């Protein structure tokens, strides 16, 4: 299942990681990847942003056409789905004391990429939040991205901007402070193996400020917010990625498993499945807690790993043009060999059916 432990090498989504150096095999230099990552994002997002509307995007995104890999999983806006939108906010490490601005002119854009070219992935940070524990919330206590459900007649981009301000107090509408530089794949929301009637949009913002504004966390929604160096999810991801990072009890095939005695299922771990995850909390920067009570109850050591929908959105960012491997593959890992075979057969037929439809 995409996992190889021999010689301290981990295989992630078809790419081989070296567990000691944490670098992708046969890849370009670390510093050049930052520029390539953002250029690929801007180029592949242009028409996607145009297709879905919403005006808070940077003017440099107007002309290019998206790659097939970026738009292949788009959700059709005409479908009657509830919608949710999140923001992936990138910044330069504050210790570098750089405010890198992406302007409207071609000259300004070139200057932006020239400055980015001097950075490594460890110099760029991504904002995450830890959600509050709430009864009935399937994402209770999870690590996530600022965002939430769209209001009636609200665009996806406006929802991401509004929810970010409500949850962490960052005003993405501040034109001289933040620029929307990309939109990632829209996707249907899955809760473990069940697909929900909800779509999920993710927008990437670049912080142009040298220093991040003070955060104001929303009580009852966000316990903490923190920044993570991007190299934890790219060049050094192998050191923190675990194919069985999160384990749940779940019945994958109810009709088949109903014919198997419960004691045998438990003994053979047929009801145990795992999900890939990345342990990022121990390396968090500038952690903002809601209050001292939350800080005492949920120190960083108790934070869960990054997994599920948020890991998929993050993988959409770092894997553009296959620059880095995805971290959310395989989607699930059944513990039982019998269930792994069933799931492989099921996945094959689903993939085959999808190709026929397409």
* Residues 202-238: tens digit of each pLDDT: 999 999 999 999 999 999 999 999 999 999 999 999 8
- DSSP code at position 78: T
Question: Residue 205 forms beta bridges with which residues?
Answer: 89, 180
Same-domain pairing of 269 and 123? no
The whole-number pLDDT of residue 31 equals 65
Q: 120: domain range?
A: 31-49+80-237+280-327
| 260 in any annotated domain | yes
Same-domain pairing of 243 and 227? no
- DSSP code at position 218: P
C-alpha–C-alpha distance, residues 228 and 285, integer Å:
6
3-class SS at 57? coil
| 127 in any annotated domain | yes
* Residues 278-333: tens digit of each pLDDT: 999 999 999 999 999 999 999 999 999 999 999 999 999 999 988 899 999 988 89
Mean pLDDT value across residues 239-255 = 89
Same-domain pairing of 127 and 179? yes
| 67 in any annotated domain | no
| 25 in any annotated domain | no
C-alpha–C-alpha distance, residues 184 and 101, integer Å:
21
Q: How many domains is the chain partitioned into structurally? A: 2
| 112 in any annotated domain | yes
| 202 in any annotated domain | yes
Same-domain pairing of 193 and 228? yes
Same-domain pairing of 259 and 163? no
| 20 in any annotated domain | no
Same-domain pairing of 271 and 207? no
Q: How far is CA 156 from the centre of its chain?
A: 17
C-alpha–C-alpha distance, residues 153 and 259, integer Å:
47
* Residues 70-124: tens digit of each pLDDT: 333 444 555 577 899 999 999 999 999 988 998 777 888 889 999 999 999 999 9
Same-domain pairing of 200 and 259? no
Centre a 10 Å sphere on the Cβ of residue 212 and count the other Cβ atoms it contains.
18
Query: What value does the CA radius of gyration of the chain take, rounded to a whole number of Å?
Result: 21
The whole-number pLDDT of residue 33 equals 85
The whole-number pLDDT of residue 55 equals 36
Same-domain pairing of 106 and 188? yes
The whole-number pLDDT of residue 19 equals 33
């Amino acid at each position: 299942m995409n996992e190889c432990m021999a010689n301290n090498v981990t295989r992630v989504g078809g790419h081989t990681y070296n567990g000691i150096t944490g670098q992708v095999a046969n890849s370009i230099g670390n510093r050049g990847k930052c520029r390539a990552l953002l250029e690929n994002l801007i180029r592949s997002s242009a028409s996607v942003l145009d297709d879905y509307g919403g005006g808070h995007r940077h003017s440099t995104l107007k002309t290019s056409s998206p790659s097939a890999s970026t738009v292949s999983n788009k959700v059709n806006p005409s479908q009657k789905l509830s919608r949710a939108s999140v923001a992936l906010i990138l910044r330069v490490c504050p210790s570098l004391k750089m405010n890198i601005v992406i302007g409207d002119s071609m000259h300004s854009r070139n200057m932006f990429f020239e400055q980015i070219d001097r950075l490594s992935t460890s110099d760029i940070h991504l904002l995450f939040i830890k959600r509050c524990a709430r009864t009935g919330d399937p994402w209770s206590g999870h690590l996530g991205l600022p965002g939430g459900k769209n209001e009636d007649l609200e665009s996806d981009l406006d929802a991401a901007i509004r929810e970010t301000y409500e949850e962490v107090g960052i005003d993405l509408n501040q034109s001289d402070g933040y620029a929307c530089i990309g939109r990632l794949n829209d996707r249907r929301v899955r809760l473990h193996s069940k697909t929900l009637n909800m779509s999920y949009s993710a927008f990437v913002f670049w912080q142009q400020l040298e220093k991040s504004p003070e955060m104001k966390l929303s009580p009852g929604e966000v316990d903490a917010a923190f920044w993570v160096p991007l190299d934890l999810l790219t060049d050094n991801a192998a050191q923190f990625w675990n194919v069985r990072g999160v384990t749940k009890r779940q019945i994958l095939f109810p009709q088949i498993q109903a014919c198997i005695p419960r004691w045998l299922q438990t003994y053979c771990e047929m009801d145990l499945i795992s999900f890939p995850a990345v342990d990022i909390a121990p390396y968090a920067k500038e952690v903002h807690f809601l209050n001292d009570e939350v800080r005492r109850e949920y120190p960083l050591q108790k934070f869960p790993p990054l997994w599920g929908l948020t890991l998929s959105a993050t993988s959409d960012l770092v894997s553009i043009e296959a620059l880095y491997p995805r971290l959310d593959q395989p989607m699930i890992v059944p513990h039982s060999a019998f269930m792994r075979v069933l799931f492989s057969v099921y996945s094959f037929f689903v993939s085959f059916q999808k190709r026929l439809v397409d």
